[in-house]
Amino acid sequence: MLKHNLPLDDKSISRLSKKGLSLKTLKDQLNEELDTSLELFRLQGLNIVKHEGYYYFDTRFIPIEEAEFCIVDIETNGSKIEKHQIIEIAAVKVHNGKIIDRFDSLVHTKQINPAITEITGIKVEDTKDAPDLKTVLEKFKEFLGNAIFVAHDVKFDYLFTSKSMEKVGLPALLNRSLCSLALAERTIVSYRYALSYLNDSLNLNPNAQHHRAMSDVLTTYGLFLLSLENLNEDIKTVEDLINFSKEASRLKRPKFDPLAKKEETE
């Protein structure tokens, strides 16, 4: 489960997304005055609103078709935030199923392991004229705004991006997040749910270049649209969607790999 950066316990987080949180409970857990805390949260990408005497994430009331989703992918020169960094980040902003804006940047770095270069195709010299990490993350944060952060296996991308922001002196992310992998497991029958496998089986992005940020973003975008098409009609708001992606039963996977069968017959 994705760890949140809010100074609230898990029960309170759940109530903000569903039944609402009382003023007393909210105040008891905050270190700052309520208005100050809510404003700081808003600046970090999260809106908490009052409705009929209780507090909720505003996404509890935003219909899916009216929300802004930001589909994100990062490439890094390693998996440990303490010693590694983002080397490429890409995102598209999606509203009512349509891409309305794009963000794409390499990030200056002095070191990329040959194994990472082999996977991504990105070399140190490719980043020599790219902006530094802080500059890229400042621009990305402005692009992201308070949109819902979507990624395939979102935990890695979200936490690495958020911790990277803190490393360069920016506030951590508080945006609501959605995992396209978890959503796909509940809306699309597949033998595997790796992004490359889903692309091969569903032809989400015919021009895919796996492990390049914008390419993976566009593949995830195709997957996201397909998942939305397969939703039950009772999933109406953003929080309905987030909770469904975490709590609904996963679909039963086929016993045999249909792509392996296809290869055998070709």
pLDDT for 263: 54
Is the pLDDT confidence value at 265 over 60? no
Question: In this prediction, what percent of the chain has a pLDDT beyond 70?
Answer: 96
Residue pair 77/85 in contact (Cβ under 8 Å)? The answer is yes
DSSP-assigned letters across all residues of 103-135: EEEE---S---HHHHHHH---GGGGTTSPPHHH
3-state helix, strand, coil in the chain (%, to 5): 45, 15, 40
Report the pLDDT averaged over residues 222-244. Answer: 97
Question: 190 to each of 16, 71, 164, 198, 205, how far by Cα in Å?
Answer: 33, 21, 33, 8, 17
- Digit-coded pLDDT (tens) for 24-38: 999 999 988 999 999
If pLDDT is split at 50, 70 and 90, which confidence band does 39 have? very high
- Distances from the Cα of 20 to the Cαs of 4, 33, 58, 140, in angstroms? 18, 19, 11, 31
Q: What is the structure's pLDDT at 31?
A: 82
What is the rounded distance in angstroms from the CA atom of residue 198 to the CA atom of residue 29?
Answer: 42
Measured between alpha carbons, how far is 140 from 102 in angstroms, rounded to an integer? 10
Residue 224: is its pLDDT beyond 80?
yes
pLDDT of residue 1: 47
User: Average of pLDDT values for 209-224?
Assistant: 96
Ordered DSSP codes for 47-106: -EEEETTEEEEGGGS-BGGGSEEEEEEEEES-S-TTT--EEEEEEEEEETTEEEEEEEEE
> Per the structure block, which two tokens stand in for 94?
């999606």
Name the amino acid, one letter, at 9: D
Residue 260's pLDDT band, with cuts at 50, 70 and 90, is confident
Q: Confidence band (pLDDT; 50, 70, 90) for 5? A: confident
Does residue 51 surpass a pLDDT of 60?
yes
pLDDT at 261: 64
Residue 245: pLDDT band (50, 70, 90) is very high
Question: Could you report the per-residue pLDDT of 119-165, keeping only the tens digit for each?
Answer: 999 999 999 999 999 999 999 999 999 999 999 999 999 999 999 99
Residue 17: burial class (beta carbons within 10 Å; 0-12, 13-18, 19+): buried
Q: What is the pLDDT of residues 157-196, one digit of tens each?
A: 999 999 999 999 999 999 999 999 999 999 999 999 999 9
Domains of the chain: 10-60 (no CATH), 64-247 (3.30.420.10)
pLDDT band at 262 (very low <50, low <70, confident <90, very high): low
